[in-house]
Structure formats: structure tokens, C-alpha cells
Amino acid sequence: MGLKRKILELHKKREEVLKGGGDKAIEKQAAMGKLTARERIISLLDPDSFHEYDLFVEHEARDFDMEKKVLHGDGVIIGTGTIYGAPVCIFAQDFTVAGGSLGMMHARKITKIMDHSLKLKVPLIGINDSGGARIQEGVNSLAGYGEIFFRNTLSSGVIPQISVVLGPCAGGAVYSPALTDFVFVVDKISKMFITGPEVIKTVIGEEISMEGLGGAKVQSEISGNAHFYAKSEAECFEQIKKLVSFIPWNNIKKAKAYEPKEPKSEYKVSEIVPGDPRQPYDVRDVIRGVVDDSDFFEIQELWAANIVIGFGRMNGETIGFVANQPLVLAGVLDVDSSDKAARFIRFCDSFNIPIITFVDVPGYLPGVDQEHMGVIRHGAKVLYAYSEATVAKITVILRKAYGGGYIAMSSRHLRADFVFAWPTAEIAVMGPEGAANIIFRKEIVQAEDPEKMRKQKVKEYKEKFANPYVAAARGYVDSVIEPEETRRLILHAIDVSGSKSVFLPQKKHGIPPF
């Protein structure tokens, strides 16, 4: 056969595979508002940048009449490409081929691209749309998932791993995302669960819809499994691109720097925080008041909103922000907000992203529920994550910094490099009311007018401790600053921290309170 005919034959073979699961399955996919796996990759990556590998891989299953079935590409597409010029490795499961279920060869394709991403030190993006382990392939599909989970863990902290859930994903198809750094979901399209509604009905007799069990809203607002929620696949891909623009390719490189920009004039930090410590405000406006172009990219916006995490740029460089949110539960630390902050701190630390912490925290949330849910263990994650982090850590105390919350929120004692406090800062073991009630209980009870005495003692306590100067006198706070100075001082602190290096005791690894 001459070259021309061989090339024609190649074209024909390619065409055949590109049909995926066939017209009917593709129509069904479109009717659900879903793009096909290939369309998804093309929409996400830079134009003409995608290069596909293992197009002609076929499954090797022989049981349950599987030898009669042709599964194009074995239901998954793998390749490399770029996003805003940054290289990425990518896979997308093709639900039109056997429900994107994971058989042995399907898993081998995914692990091949995972190995590539770790070797090439570039981010991995996984688009998951799969019914989980391919039932007909038995232990081979379980082995496949095991190989994927192992690689997810090996790559953790070396390359960023991004998961996109764009379909009903069950079993292994959700555990791999859970091991990655960021999970994206789309309204009505994404469903994540370990066991589906049918199994639940059989085993415990409960009836629940897929949406109610693990839809996009559930996973973004209630469980916290998802980090980004979008209304459509197009919006989701824009979010992924934006995330990729903020993060580095790997744990050695720094994130790409952009042209520095001043914050927008409408965000004046001096006008955001009310003087009255009981008045709420949106701490995201303080972040917008200091970041370039006031562009703050929030993560897990819908879950544990009493803490805010996300990326912004200062002087063009990526910065991670952690801030208590007085708008929600007065910004207390609790089980979920501790988990949320701790994981983000570890991501920033792994990928050389400086962390700025804005503090306005009344402490850890008291109550039976929280204690029984393990607030001790979960709250300890924040202490651990900040203590362990060796990137530049800059803390600004805006208002309340009470008790364990003060220590946990990147205090000097956990080795913050720079601690600034606004004149409105109150650093104490607890709020003045609670403190006065405890330490002056006898005087208050025995007074002729207990209420008058109580007020007087609260006032005394406030005057003594509800300020930043006691901490500044001990050097726990480096400078008491005017709000307008915040951006300038943070920029300076980042500049002088450029070569920061810290020597930690040698160990295999620590044991965080997981």
C-alpha cells in the first residue's frame, strides 16, 4: 500500500473512533445540556493546542459478551495542550461510550497522562463523567482506580490537580476528584456520590433523587466537596482558566506574574470596617481594597462562608488570602471553616504562594454540636497548617482577635513573618462582656447594682485589653498601622520575604489532625 492510501486508511480509522458512542448517545448527551468529551477539551484549552494520544486504545474485557463490544478509545480521551500558554495534561471521560465507565485500558490511559503530568511537572486536569468502575471488568477496574488514587496522592503538592465533574459520577469517579486540589461542578449536570439512589433504596430503604443526594448545589454548599460552582459548562471553563492563570505549573516554579495594577478607587479600606465591633461588614471588600485591580478570585464561596479564601495579585504576583468573614456567624472558626482554611493554606505553602491573613475573629464556635462534631480535631488543622507553612506569612488584625482564634489566625506565635494591626484591633482572651462576667463575677453579684457594676467592669476590661497596644508592647504585633497603609506595607513585606528560607527538623512527614 502506498503512503497516500495508508494516510487515507489512518483518516478512516480516526473518523471511526471520533464517533465516540455514536449519534444516539451523543444526542442523549446534548439533550442533558452536556458537551461531548472532545468538545469539552477543545472549549477549555487554547485554540488548536490540543494533542490527543491513545486514540486507538481498545478494551480487553472478555466476560459478559464484552468481546463483541467496540468501545472507542475505551471511553476516555487523553492529551496535552495549553491554557493561556501554560502547558497542561488533560483527560476527559466520554459518557457516550459505556457511560464513561472505567475499565482496565481506560484506567491505563488516565494513568499514562497522570504519569506524564508528574514527569513534565505541569498541572493535571481531569474531566469526570463516569458511572465509576466498569462492572463487567470486575477487579481490573478496581485495580485501575487504585492506580489512579495512588498517582493522585503521589502528585499531591508537586503539580496542581484540577477535577471537573460533568455528569453523574459514582464510586471511584468521585474519590479521585476528592484527592485533587480543586473540584469544579455545574448546576444540574454534576452529580457526585459514593453510592447511587438505587443502592440507597435497596440497602436503607430511603428514596432520594440524584440531585438531592449529590447535585452541584449540595456539593458546593453542604458537603464542601466542590470548590467552584457554575451555571453552565462554558462558565465552568472560564473559572478553570482563571484558576490556572493564578497557580504555578508545579511546586518549583512561581506562578506567572502579570502587569501590576492599583486597586479600584471604590474599595477604600479605611471606610469598610465599622468602628462598632458588633457591626458586620464584607471582608472581601478589604481584600479587594488591597489587591491589583480589586480582582479577588474566591474559592469555596458557597461553603463555610464564615471564612473567605482565594487568590488575588499584588504587584502582579499571586497571593493567597485567608480572612474571617464577619458577615457570616460573626466570622467564627468552626469545623467546616477550619477544614476550608487549613487545606487552602497547605495548597499555598506547597506551591510557593505567600499567604495574607486578615483577622476579625471572635474565637472558635462554642456549643454541643461543634464539640460533638470534633471542633477540637478540625480546629487544630488551622494551627497545624499555619505552623507548618514556610511561605511568607503576613497577618493584618483588623478588629477582633480573641482567644484561640487569635493564635490560630497566623499569629506571631505560629511564625507569621509580619503582623500588622489596625488601631481598631482588639486582642484578648475573649470579648470584654464574657471576660468581665467571668473574672469579676463575685464583684458583680455582690454589688448593690449588679448591672451597673457589670458595665463598669466591661469598660475597665475594654480599656485595658481591647486594643492592639498590649500585644504591640510585647512585640507580638510588629506595627500598629493606619488602614490606608495596608497595601503599601504588605507589598514591602512580600518584597523583603522573597528569599525566605526556614529550616525545619528532619522528618519523613508530620501527622496532621486529618
Cβ-contact 395, 486 below 8 angstroms: no
**Cell, residue 348:** 499555598
Q: Which of residues 295-354 bind ligand HXC (CB under 6 A)?
A: none
Measured between alpha carbons, how far is 58 from 72 in angstroms, rounded to an integer? 7
Residue 142: CB minimum distance to ligand HXC, A: 6
- Closer CB to ligand HXC, residue 8 or residue 139? 139
- Closer CB to ligand HXC, residue 53 or residue 149? 149
Measured between alpha carbons, how far is 364 from 509 in angstroms, rounded to an integer? 28
- Closer CB to ligand HXC, residue 145 or residue 182? 145
Residue 207: CB minimum distance to ligand HXC, A: 15
Give every CB contact of residue 186 below 8 A, 6+ residues apart in sequence: 166, 216, 229, 230, 231, 232, 233, 235, 236
Cβ-contact 318, 297 below 8 angstroms: no
Segment contacting ligand HXC by CB under 6 A, of 54-62, 130-138, 178-186, 497-505? 130-138
Question: Would you count residue 75 as binding ligand HXC (CB under 6 A)?
Answer: no
Measured between alpha carbons, how far is 313 from 294 in angstroms, rounded to an integer? 9
Question: Would you count residue 104 as binding ligand HXC (CB under 6 A)?
Answer: no
Q: Which of residues 146-205 bind ligand HXC (CB under 6 A)?
A: 168, 170-172, 175, 196
Residue 200: CB minimum distance to ligand HXC, A: 11
Give the chain's radius of gyration (CA, Å): 26
If binding means CB under 6 A, how many residues of this protein chain bind ligand HXC? 16
Measured between alpha carbons, how far is 33 from 233 in angstroms, rounded to an integer? 9
String of DSSP letters for 70-91: --GGGGEEEEEEEETTEEEEEE
Place of cell 471553563: 237
- Closer CB to ligand HXC, residue 202 or residue 265? 202
- Closer CB to ligand HXC, residue 133 or residue 309? 133
Cβ-contact 316, 258 below 8 angstroms: yes
Residue 177: CB minimum distance to ligand HXC, A: 12
Question: Would you count residue 432 as binding ligand HXC (CB under 6 A)?
Answer: no
Question: Would you count residue 379 as binding ligand HXC (CB under 6 A)?
Answer: no
Distance of CA 49 to the CA centre of its chain: 27
- Closer CB to ligand HXC, residue 75 or residue 363? 75
Question: Would you count residue 71 as binding ligand HXC (CB under 6 A)?
Answer: no
Residue 350: CB minimum distance to ligand HXC, A: 24
Give every CB contact of residue 502 below 8 A, 6+ residues apart in sequence: 390, 415
CA distances from 153 to 179, 180, 342, 349, 452 (A): 7, 8, 18, 17, 60
Instruction: List the x/- string, 82-101, binding to ligand HXC by CB under 6 A.
Output: ----------------xx-x
Cβ-contact 73, 57 below 8 angstroms: yes
- Closer CB to ligand HXC, residue 94 or residue 334? 94
Residue 141: CB minimum distance to ligand HXC, A: 7
Among 145, 267, 418, 420, binds ligand HXC (CB under 6 A): 145
- Closer CB to ligand HXC, residue 140 or residue 325? 140
- Closer CB to ligand HXC, residue 98 or residue 361? 98
**Cell, residue 179:** 484527592
Measured between alpha carbons, how far is 168 from 148 in angstroms, rounded to an integer? 19
Among 131, 248, 362, 404, binds ligand HXC (CB under 6 A): 131
**Cell, residue 397:** 488584625
Instruction: List the x/- string, 210-239, binding to ligand HXC by CB under 6 A.
Output: ------------------------------
Residue type at position 276 = D
- Please state at what angle helix 283-290 crosses helix 486-496, rounded to 10 degrees: 60
Q: Which residues bind ligand HXC (CB under 6 A)?
A: 98-99, 101, 131-135, 142, 145, 168, 170-172, 175, 196
